[in-house]
């Protein structure tokens, strides 16, 4: 009787251990599935937000390109540029900031009331100064956590870059 009781006890303990281990494995698998589903949802949301930002920016980019071809912008007329920046900002409410800088990186005009600064160390400026137009990927603004896209367009006169 004692031996059969011990065998039964060992058998029950082995079954409990096996059930515990299989339960732990099922928990891990379920956790991975849930994490994958959440990640997929986040990726889909990010794609939708990205498409919205791209659609909005597709309207803004041609306006900026047109502005860079105006005489006032090519001559780097700060007052005229400031006026056109204000009009553009009023027309497109999603614009956070627009500025125009000379080849040394000194901003000559910008939207808003912040102080003009030197942007010569910014990578986009350095590339645009060489004549290349840059449209960034969709990024999250570190201050507002809103999606943004940066468009950098060189200002060209007589086949030479005169500003960004």
The yes-or-no verdict on residue 50 having pLDDT over 80 is no
Nearest to 66 by CA among 97, 88, 95: 88
The yes-or-no verdict on residue 1 having pLDDT over 70 is no
Element (DSSP H or E) covering residue 161:
strand 160-163
pTM here? 0.62
- For residue 118, name the pLDDT band (cuts at 50, 70, 90): very high
Q: Which domains, and CATH codes, for the chain? A: 2-163 (3.30.450.20)
Residues in the chain: 164
Between 31 and 140, where is the model more confident? 31
How many CB atoms sit inside 10 A of residue 48's CB? 10
């Amino acid at each position: 009787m004692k031996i059969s009781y011990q065998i039964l006890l060992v058998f029950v303990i082995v079954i409990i251990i096996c059930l515990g281990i299989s339960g732990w494995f099922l928990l891990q698998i379920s956790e991975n599935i849930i994490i994958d589903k959440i990640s997929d949802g986040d990726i889909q949301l990010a794609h939708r937000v990205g498409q919205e930002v791209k659609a909005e920016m597709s309207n803004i980019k041609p306006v900026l390109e047109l502005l860079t071809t105006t005489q006032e912008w090519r001559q780097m007329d700060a007052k005229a540029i400031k006026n056109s920046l204000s009009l553009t900002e009023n027309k497109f409410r999603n614009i956070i900031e627009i500025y125009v800088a000379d080849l040394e990186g000194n901003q000559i005009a910008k939207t808003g009331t912040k102080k003009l600064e030197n942007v010569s160390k910014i990578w986009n400026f350095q590339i645009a100064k060489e004549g290349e137009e840059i449209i960034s990927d969709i990024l999250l603004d570190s201050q507002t956590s809103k999606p943004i896209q940066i468009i950098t367009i060189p200002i060209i006169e007589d086949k030479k870059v005169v500003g960004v």
